[in-house]
Amino acid sequence: MLGEFINPYYLQVGSFIMINIILGLSIYITLSSGQLSLGNAGFMGIGAYTSALLTINYDLPIVIGIIVGAVVAGIFGILIGIPSLRLQGVYLAIATLGFGEVIRVFFINWESVTRGAVGISGIPHIGRELFAFFREMGFDPSAIGLKNNQFVYLLVLIILLMINILLVWFFIRQNKSRVGRAFAAIKMDEKAAEAMGINITYYKVLSFTQGAILSGFAGALFAHVMAYISPADFSYHRAVEILIFAVFGGSEVIWGAVFGATFMTLMPEVLRFISEYRYVIYGLVLVVMMAFRPQGIIDVSGLEWLKHKMPRGRVAHGSKNSKHL
Amino acid sequence: MVLKIQNICKNFGGISALTDVSFSVNEGEIFGLIGPNGAGKTTMFNVITNLFTPTSGEITFLGEKITGIKPFKITDKGICRTFQNIRLFTQMTSVENVLVGGHSRSKSGVLSGVFHTKSQRLEEERLHAKAITLLELVGLYNQRDIVSENLSYGQQRRLEIARALASDPKLLLLDEPAAGMNETETDDLFYLIKKVQKLGITILLIEHDMPLVMKLCDRITVLNFGKKLAEGTPEEIQNNPAVIEAYLGSEEDDEIA
Amino acid sequence: MLLEQLINGITLGSIYAIVALGFTLVFGVLGIINMAHGEIFMFGAFIGVIVTTTLGWPLWVAFLAAIAVTIILGYMLERFALRPLRGKQGVSHLAPLISTIGVSILLENLSHHLFGAGNHPFSTTFAEIHYKIGSITIYLVQIFIFVISVILMMSLSYWLSKTKAGKALRATAENLETASILGVDTKKIITLTVIIASAMGGIAGILVGMAFNSVNPQMGLSMGLKGLAIIILGGMGNVKGAMVGGLILGLSETFIVAYGDSGYRDAIAFIAIIFILLLRPQGLFGQKTSQVGR
């Protein structure tokens, strides 16, 4: 039956891909207004710790924890975003990198709350909570031929997939709207955008905050899928990994980040021997991409080509927003 | 009176780019701002649109003081500009560029934009219809879906005008619109600017093409070394000895340089 | 106690300053933040460990070897990660930053494989020599480090302002195109810059190894980020600023460890980055320029 085809391990890899796609979107959305933030690992940590601590210490439902986690990350996004506006390009990147490291140092040192470098374990697991819920409703996974753990992981993957579809839809719509045009205009020429009546302060903080919310959201999901988090999960390496999603996949279009996150998560899983050299390869990818294809694998012209190939395929694209990374 | 410039001074680290410049632009006219290179014309534009804050002096637009307010709010109030060195959104199509121009005359936010509320749909339709009208006006209807960096130079200049017009300006600032254009293109530009004037839009124009300026403008102010040298009708300016002196002098400088 | 802490702080600060000098040199000439500088520094430290501890050779050989290896790394960095981006159309100013982040990650993990994770002791008899003056102890290494950093800074300043190569380098920093029109071989100058900066990183690596008797693959990252903090503190591309910034950071870290919460030691640099960038983007000693950021 169904159970024979479903390997919990694959399901879990699928869940990681979904979370990484959200992280990819988080860096894509700040880049879409021309800002490079390397602080997304920090925002992710804020979301993860907030949700984990709320659900453990106050017995709040996971859903509430995740929402509050994303909101708190968003508030930090506004607080960091507003003063960072005066910074451009590399300076913004460095300030946000510094922010991420400060957050990590706080997680390590604020031991009474965060349990320090050891991290927090026993975080309520989305799948298991839902499983318990279904149990109470009188549903038994074996009815559809699934073992309990298969059912749990499948449930998590389906939920994450739905969230992802919703998010991609949301940002494609946003890209095509007045807000998306304002982001793209700011990315291409900030002064001209201002002269056209665009309040760049507002839109830059908006896109920065959206990125922070997405990172916090992804972090909260991460906490409840892993059931364990530690400060090391939100280090410089995470920030670089998130950067890779956009740089490799492509930062011009939303599908670039989606593809980058998917590919970069799958690669070490499919090629196990690579796993050990994962970061070596990450490093090479960054260098090679910058030298030969700074816009990433998937770009506007690539999508146009795909559209021609499949005249009825509904390949949506972001605004043609392609100042190379 | 649409725009009133009063005693504007602008210094950059001790070097004064504008010294005590005053002039005013009447409703519906085409007003020329001319002068040799480095006379401070573009600086004047940057001061009017508040990209630069003036060191001293005051600017009033439709009776309201506009010095010190944010550049994007200037556009809200009804002043929009083009740039000397074309600053289009290069990777957007012509239509998208004009749509961005309509930003200040629309207001849908994140949620209405994502969920396509009724008012948002109407607003987008209105913006699109207007963009198409404006592209027709500047003669770029057939190029509407071309990415703007692939347009010819003259087309890019006209697209910039369409983009600025999308913000429903009462005052349009054109910074050397004829620069780099050939004779036919300049002729087209002449008619385009006249058409814009007929829409009831006041125009303040910087231009080096003297025949065009003389043909087009109702009144002209001449700047030289950041100071106002003369003001008057094209005939008065053409016969003003100080202006002739400044221009002849500067042309010789140009030759040498 | 206070005096001893002061000496410790100056030692640490001197090392920071040398690392920061490498950063500031590359930034001054190329306008690029070399995120791989910390890892090059870390490689220098590992070469020191291998030469002195594993092979048992004398310290001066370790210095030569570390300089040689970091020069090679610097050359490769310039050749493969920076040169391909130069003068290319449509490449944003973020590209070199991302490219050097790539190199940093690559080198860090390469060193995991080459040298092994965890702490490696750096033991030389030289590091044991110390003097007691009253109640305080001064290690010879500490004096050595301070002297070397001052010498490096002074010779760098001299070299930049007085020699022909230094002047060519400053011309290149001023304007790449103009310098090349004026007959400066900019490609050579840029390579030279990156190489010198890297060699300084290598020297700093050995000094750190001696001072702390411990070398690990992660030290590149933390040192790199601190170097970054320092050049932001001292003003980007400012040689004296790098020195003073290094000392300030070294002293404040030492004092927070001695009198505050040692856990937050590593946060100082980043909090400093954030505050300086926001309040005084030109750095403590930089000139105010009209435009911040490139």
How far is A92 from A86, CA to CA, in rounded Å? Answer: 9
> Could you tell me which chain A residue has the CA closest to the CA of B75?
A197
Over residues A50-56, mean pLDDT: 95
The pLDDT of residue C241:
82
Give the model confidence (pLDDT) of A267-314 as tens digits.
Answer: 877 777 777 788 888 888 888 888 888 888 888 777 777 777 765 544
Is A106 in Cβ contact with C98 (below 8 Å)?
A: no
Torsion sign, CA atoms A71, A77, A80, A86: negative
Provide the pLDDT for residue A5: 67
Phi, psi of A298 (to 5 degrees): -100, 120
Partner-chain contact B113 A174, CB within 8 Å: yes
SS (H, E, C) C120-165: ECCCCHHHHCEEEECCEEEEHHHHHHHHHHHHHHHHHHHHHHHCHH
Please indicate whether, in this complex, the C-beta atoms of A196 and B91 are within 8 angstroms of each other: no
A207: nearest CA partner in chain B: B110
Report how many Cβ contacts below 8 Å link chain A to chain B: 110
- Chain A interface, best mutation among C93, C105, C271, C292, by max A CB count within 10 A: C105
Task: Print burial letters for C46-63: b (CB count within 10 Å at least 16), e (below 16).
Answer: bbbbbbbbeeeeebeebb
* Section B151-155 average pLDDT: 91
- Going by C-beta distance under 8 Å and a sequence separation of 6 or more, which residues neighbour residue B183? none
Q: Between the CA of residue C114 and those of B57, B153, C207, what are the distances in Å?
A: 67, 56, 21
Note whether A153 and A15 are within 8 A (CB).
yes
C93 to A90: CB separation less than 8 angstroms, yes or no: yes
**Which pLDDT does position C282 carry in this prediction?**
63
| Greatest mean pLDDT range, A194-198, C128-132, C231-235 | A194-198
- On chain B, the residues whose CB falls within 8 A of the CB of A180 are 113
- Written as one letter, the residue type at C273 is I
List chain B residues with CB under 8 Å of A194: 51, 71-72
Say whether B103 and A181 touch across the interface (CB within 8 A).
yes
Rounded to the nearest angstrom, the minimum Cα separation between B246 and chain A is 32
Q: Which residue of B has its CA nearest to A177?
A: B113
Min distance A182 CA to chain C CA atoms (Å): 20
Question: What is the end-to-end Cα distance of chain B in Å, rounded?
Answer: 40
**Does the beta carbon of B51 lie under 8 angstroms from any beta carbon of chain A?**
yes
Task: Say if residue B214 is exposed, middle or buried (CB neighbours under 10 Å; 0-12, 13-18, 19+).
Answer: middle
Chain B residues whose beta carbon lies within 8 Å of the beta carbon of residue A191: 51, 87
Q: At B220, which helix (H) or strand (E)?
A: strand B219-224
The Cα A90–Cα B69 span in angstroms is 29
User: In A, which residues are within 8 Å of B88 by CB distance?
Assistant: 189, 192
Q: How many residues does chain A have?
A: 325
- Which tens digit of pLDDT belongs to each residue from B21-73? 999 999 999 999 998 888 889 999 999 998 888 999 999 999 999 988 999 99
Closest CA to C276 of C258, C294, C249: C249
> How far is A136 from A131, CA to CA, in rounded Å?
9
Identify the residue among A170, A177, A208 best suited for mutation to test binding to B, counting B beta carbons within 10 A and taking the highest.
Answer: A177
pLDDT for A170: 96
The answer, for B228 touching chain A at a CB cutoff of 8 Å, is no
Closest CB from B89, B115, B120 relative to A185: B89
What subunits make at least 3 CB pairs under 8 angstroms with A? Answer: B, C
Per-residue pLDDT reduced to its tens digit, B101-135: 999 999 889 998 889 999 999 999 999 999 999 99
Q: What angle do CA B120, B126, B131 make, to 5 degrees?
A: 125
Burial tier of B22 (Cβ tally within 10 Å: 0-12, 13-18, 19+): middle
Cβ contact A181:A319 at 8 Å: yes
- The two tokens of residue C161 are 């302002």
ipTM of predicted complex: 0.89
Q: CB contact, 8 Å: B225 with chain A?
A: no
Using a CB–CB cutoff of 8 Å, tell me whether C117 touches chain A. no
Among A179, A5, A170, A2, residue whose Cα is nearest residue B110 = A179
What's residue B44's pLDDT? 92
| CB distance C189 to C168 below 8 Å | yes
Instruction: Name which residue leads in pLDDT, C117 or B3.
Output: B3
User: Hey, which residues does B224 pair with through a beta bridge?
Assistant: B227
| Residue contact C94–A93, C-beta within 8 A | yes
- The pLDDT of residue C119 is 81
Nearest residue in chain A measured CA to CA from B173: A195
Instruction: Please give the pLDDT value at position B249.
Output: 63
Per-residue pLDDT tens over the stretch A178-218: 999 999 999 999 999 999 999 999 999 999 999 999 999 99
CA distance B231 to chain A (A): 28
CB-based contact C36:C104 (threshold 8 Å): yes
- Report yes or no: B89 at the A interface, CB cutoff 8 Å: yes
A235 phi and psi, to 5 degrees?
Answer: -90, -175
Check CB contact of C256 with chain A, cutoff 8 Å: no
Answer whether A322's CB lies under 8 Å from A295's CB: yes
In whole angstroms, give the CA distance from residue B37 to residue A119.
Answer: 65
Q: Is the pLDDT of residue A112 over 80?
A: yes
Task: Provide the shortest C-alpha distance from residue B238 to chain A (in Å).
Answer: 33
- Which residues in chain B have Cβ-Cβ distances shorter than 8 Å to A176? 113
Strand ordering across the sheet containing B3-12: B15-25, B3-12, B56-61, B64-65
Handedness of CA A274, A278, A281, A285 (dihedral sign): positive
Q: Is A190 exposed, middle or buried (0-12, 13-18, 19+ CB in 10 A)?
A: middle
Q: What is the DSSP letter of C286?
A: P
Say whether A196 and B116 touch across the interface (CB within 8 A). no
Are A266 and A248 contacting, i.e. CB atoms less than 8 angstroms apart? Answer: no
Q: How far apart are CA B39 and CA B18, in angstroms?
A: 8
Provide the shortest C-alpha distance from residue C5 to chain A (in Å): 23
The residue of A86, A252, A286, A293 whose CB has the most chain C CBs within 10 angstroms, and thus the best one to mutate to test that interface, is: A286
Interface of A with B (CB under 8 A): 170, 173-174, 176-182, 184-185, 188-189, 191-200, 206, 300, 319-323
How far is residue A317 from each of residues A162, A304, B132, measured CA to CA in Å? 20, 9, 22
Which tens digit of pLDDT belongs to each residue from B185-224?
999 999 999 999 999 999 999 998 899 999 999 999 999 8
With a cut of 60, say whether residue A71 has pLDDT above it: yes
Average pLDDT over residues C225-246: 81
